[in-house]
Structure formats: C-alpha cells, structure tokens
Amino acid sequence: MPPSPVASPSTAAERTRQLRLVAASGLLGTAVEFYDFLVYGTVAALVFGELFFPGADPAVGTIAAFGTFAAGYVARPLGGVLFGHFGDRLGRKSMLLLTMGLMGGASFLIGLLPTYDTIGVWAPVLLIALRVVQGVAIGGEWGGATLMVVEHAGERRRGLWSSFTQMGAPLGSLLSTAVVAYVVTLPKDDFAAWGWRVPFLFSVALLGVGLFVRLKVVESPLFAEVKKDRAESRLPILDVLRNPRPVLLACGVGIGAFTAQSLLTSYMIAYATGIGYARPQVLNALTVSACVALVVLPCASALSDKVGRRPVVLAGAIASAALAFPVLALVDSKSPGLLILAVVLGHGIAQSTMYGPLGALLTEMFGTKVRYTGASLGYQGATLVGAGFSPMIAGSLVAGSGSSTPVALLLCGGAAVTAVTVCFVRETHRGTLDDSAARPSVPRTEEISA
C-alpha cells in the first residue's frame, strides 16, 4: 500500500513546511519532557531530603533524594527499548504522543504526592515509582523526537536540524530553573509546605502546548517507506543486539556530555548551596548557562555538518576535561559572578559542544528499521552511566572528603570516555539515511570502523 500524501509530502514547499513543524515539535516536545524530568532534580536538591527522607543526616537525605533521581535514569534504557520497539514497528508519531502524556501525568502526580509526615514510608515509595515512570517516558522521547527530525531533514543539514531537539534540554532546564527560582522566593516554610509542588503542577500547561503541536506532525517519510515495503523488523532489539558494537559506541560517546550535565546542573545546586551560596544565586547561574547553551548547541551542530560530528564532539570533550578543575575552583571561590562564569564555561559551552552533534551522530549509526531502538538504547545507556549515578557518587565522595576534587575527577573521567570512544566511531555526516531497502537492519561492522 503506498504511503498517503500526508505521510509523504510531494512538493518541496510542503516538505519544508513539514520539516519546520517537525523541528518545532521536537524542540517543544523535548523541552516539555526535560522540564518535567529536570525539575525533579532541582527540587530534589532543595527540599526532597527533608520532605521524603526525614530524620536522616542532611547529607544522607540529599544522597537519598538523588537516589530517587538515579531511579529515573535506570528506567530510561527500558523506555528506550520499549518505545523503540513499537516506534520501529508501528511508527514514530504515536510513541511520541504517548511518551509526552506519560511524562506529564507522572509529573502532575508528583506535585500532588503526600509527604512522609502524611503517609510515612509510602511517600518515598510512590515518589520512586513516579520517577521510574518519568524515566521510562523520557527514555522513549529523545530517540523518537530526534530521528523524526533527522529523517525529515534530508542529507545536507541533519546536524543543524537535529539541534532543535537537542535544544529542548537547555530550554527545559531554563523553564524548570525559572519556575523554581520564582517559587524559592517564598518563605522557607511556605516553599516546604506547598511551593515545591507548583513546578510539577505547571507541567500540565506545558503538556497541553506540546501535544497540540505534536498532533500536527506527520509520520517519518523513511518509516513510511519501510512500512510500504513491509520491511520493518519484527524484534528490533534482537536485531540491534546481534551486533552490539554500534550501541556500545553510541553509549560511550555520550557519557561525557551527560556526566557534565548532571554534575553542573542538578548536583551543582546541592553543592553550591552547601558551601554558602544562596539558592537564587545558583539558579541564576543555571539560567545564564542555559541561555548560552541555546546558542552554542545549534552552532556546534551546524559546524558538525561542515567538518564532521567527531571533531566537534572531541573538541567538547577536551574542553570539558581541561576546564574541570578551573570550573570547580571558580565555584569554590564563593563569588556569585565567578559561579556564573564556571557554569557557563563547563556546561553552557563545553558540555553543549559535546552534546550538540549527538542527535545526528547517534541516529546516523543505525538503519531505518531499527533506528528508534538502536539510537534510544545507546543514548539512554549513556545517560544511565554518565548522569544517573554521578550526583549520588559526587555527593558521597564530597561528604567524605570535604573537597570538590571528586567532582572535577568525575568530569574528567566522563570526558575521557567520550574522547576515547569517538576515535572508534566512523564519521557519518556525509552518509545517507535512505537505507530502508539497501542496508541490513543493523549497521555492518565496517560501517563503524575501529
């Protein structure tokens, strides 16, 4: 059965309009998802320890709160596999609508959740359960949103167009930081009693906007061709795992970006407030950094269309490692201005340079029949290793040593993994995505050479 005109726009003007709509959908949808996911990390650093894990030492309470933070990251690969399977079998668009609904619903319920003082141990249990739902949802979001843009974008500027989805992360961070910055101006007792709930409840409004835009998006033209030829994979995860090399490389190349993201955003709130910064000062630094990232991400992604994905990612990894100790020294100065400079250098510039090209790079590493599953599994594996446990490990090491050195070493370690891995990834920026019939369901070994 041939694809419908809606699923496969026939004119150049229609294709351009759809590409812009898909890019806007990727940006807004991913921003909503990351807003919901990241607002948890921000609020966890500020108040979850005392509300859901009372009676513990403050440092232990913070570590426990970040343990629930990690639970969301553990669930992300599961979401990548689950939604990747059905996205490769049934279509990208329907899965993206479902992931957004799950994320928005879980966030809204967190905003209504009773605390430990009200329902006892069930409070942290339900918090962890909802956090897992968030993780499953965002695990399926990124892969679908990114490959929808890349598969609509053609061959010349996949990096630039995919950056719209990548920009959803700092935009979501900017939104979450701005909302939390507003509610933390409340008196401390009011913030602990009800103010922390506002950012979660606000997610319903963002969910409505995101769904409205996403409903207007048409299915990927490459996936439409796969369905027309009845060439889709029956079990995409098995096809991907028959040759695990691309997934392992995709995971390794993203670890540095996610280590830097988690340590210089969510964990930085807990660390900086712990050494004497006021909460608004830390949130202001994160806001400025997110604004810088919104500029750096498309620039790095566009540059990757010209010189290749590998050189740009490698440059970001080297910068992240080189800046790790200076960034923490600036934070330890206890100067609000130097704190802003530190977060901008480490996150807004170095991390964004690593992160920008990943959308195009990871999707280009897999064939159309398994692209949703493969790219999602690699990406979410990187988030689990790089971001899921970094704040908890950093909190434990800093509490034991009283020094910021462990944070800098974690940043260097993540960047080193990315720098080494990218050397084993074949350059993909000039390759073709029109591979539904010509290529096997997983990349051949020679497609990603050592």
pLDDT tens-digit series, residues 329-368: 999 999 999 999 999 999 999 999 999 999 889 988 888 7
What is the distance between the alpha carbons of residues 71 and 50, in angstroms, rounded to a whole number? 19
Q: Which of 167-171, 221-225, 366-370, 433-437 has the lowest mean pLDDT?
A: 433-437
Q: What is the pLDDT of residue 127?
A: 85
Q: What is the pLDDT of residue 220?
A: 72
Q: Quick one: which of 410, 414, 380 has its CA closest to 146?
A: 380
Whether 409 and 172 have beta carbons less than 8 Å apart is answered as: no
What is the distance between the alpha carbons of residues 100 and 111, in angstroms, rounded to a whole number? 17
pLDDT in tens, 166-196: 898 888 888 887 888 888 888 888 888 898 8
Q: Token pair for residue 271?
A: 């660390």
Residue 417 has pLDDT above 90, yes or no: yes
- Residue in this structure with the two tokens 């061959």, named with its chain if needed: 155
Q: What is the DSSP string of 140-194?
A: HHHHHHHHHHHHHS-SS-HHHHHHHHHTHHHHHHHHHHHHHHHHTTS-HHHHHHT
Residue 411 CB coordination number (10 Å): 27
What is the distance between the alpha carbons of residues 252 and 82, in angstroms, rounded to a whole number? 21
Whether 323 and 225 have beta carbons less than 8 Å apart is answered as: no
What is the distance between the alpha carbons of residues 125 and 103, in angstroms, rounded to a whole number? 18
What is the distance between the alpha carbons of residues 337 and 341, in angstroms, rounded to a whole number? 6
What is the distance between the alpha carbons of residues 101 and 97, in angstroms, rounded to a whole number? 6
Residue 131 has pLDDT above 70, yes or no: yes
Q: Which residues fall within 8 angstroms of residue 18, CB to CB, at 6 or more apart?
A: 9, 152, 217, 218
**Phi and psi of 244, rounded to 5°?**
-75, -10
What is the distance between the alpha carbons of residues 274 and 366, in angstroms, rounded to a whole number? 44
Q: What is the pLDDT of residue 294?
A: 94
SS3 content of the chain, % helix, strand, coil (to 5): 80, 0, 20
pTM, entire model: 0.80
Whether 87 and 144 have beta carbons less than 8 Å apart is answered as: yes
Residue 301 has pLDDT above 60, yes or no: yes
**Three-class SS state of 445:** helix
pLDDT in tens, 369-403: 888 888 888 988 898 888 878 888 888 888 888 88
Helices 309-332 and 279-307, packing angle to 10 deg: 160
pLDDT in tens, 16-33: 777 888 888 888 888 887
Residues 230/234/236/239 CA torsion (nearest 10 deg): -100
* Mean pLDDT confidence for 193-214: 87
pLDDT in tens, 83-129: 888 888 887 888 888 988 888 888 899 999 998 888 887 888 888 88
